[in-house]
Amino acid sequence: MSDPVGPAPLPFVQLFTDGACSGNPGPGGWAYILKHPASGKVVEASGGESGSTNNRMELQAVISGLEALKRTSEVEIVTDSEYVARGCQEWLPGWKRNGWKRREGKRLKPLKNEEHWRKLDELLAKHRVRFTVVRGHSGHPENERCDELAVAAAELFS
């Protein structure tokens, strides 16, 4: 007999992310804040690498935040990266169709950060995700905190 109420709702979390790079390429840092509004639990994390780019760090922040989730969730990803939001929402299906290549005019070119996009695609499939794009450095508290953490992480590699 089926459940008349339907499946249990997914837990809702907010994932705030940011990436930073000193030079592009250069020492990079990423950070995320995960918030579970129902319980009030908040988790922050950051990391980095010596030779990176800003876009790569923006992607790594989202990947690391999604990897931290223990179960399938409804996730609002709040980012200041149009590259990440548009890539996930608009460009990813075409890249996959084209063998992980991007169209440049009539030609297909290698996709930058392909390994990150593949990992992100795998993680996005596990959750119900929506994106909210905020303006960077505009006083958004979680975005500002992620920026602080990402910049501090990048400095460890300079």
Number of other CB atoms surrounding residue 18 within 10 Å: 31
Cis peptide before 27 (omega within 30 of 0): no
- Give the number of domains in the chain: 1
Q: Would you please indicate which residues are annotated as catalytic (active-site) residues?
A: 18-19, 58, 80, 137, 147
Q: What letter would DSSP give residue 142?
A: H
Q: Note the pLDDT tens digit of each residue in 105-132.
A: 999 999 999 999 999 999 999 999 999 9
Query: 6 in a domain, yes or no?
Result: no
Q: Do the beta carbons of residue 13 and residue 56 sit within 8 Å?
A: no
pTM (two decimals): 0.93
Report, as an integer, the average pLDDT of 25-34.
97
Q: State how far the Cα of 112 lies from the Cα of 91, in Å rounded to an integer.
A: 13
Given pLDDT bands bounded at 50, 70 and 90, which one contains residue 158? confident
Query: 105 in a domain, yes or no?
Result: no
What does each C-alpha distance from 72 to 28, 107, 110, 128, 143 come to in angstroms?
A: 29, 37, 31, 8, 24
Query: 66 in a domain, yes or no?
Result: yes
Query: 142 in a domain, yes or no?
Result: yes
Q: State how far the Cα of 64 lies from the Cα of 78, in Å rounded to an integer.
A: 14
Domain interval for residue 141: 12-90+128-155
Q: State how far the Cα of 39 lies from the Cα of 32, in Å rounded to an integer.
A: 18
At 27, which CATH number? 3.30.420.10
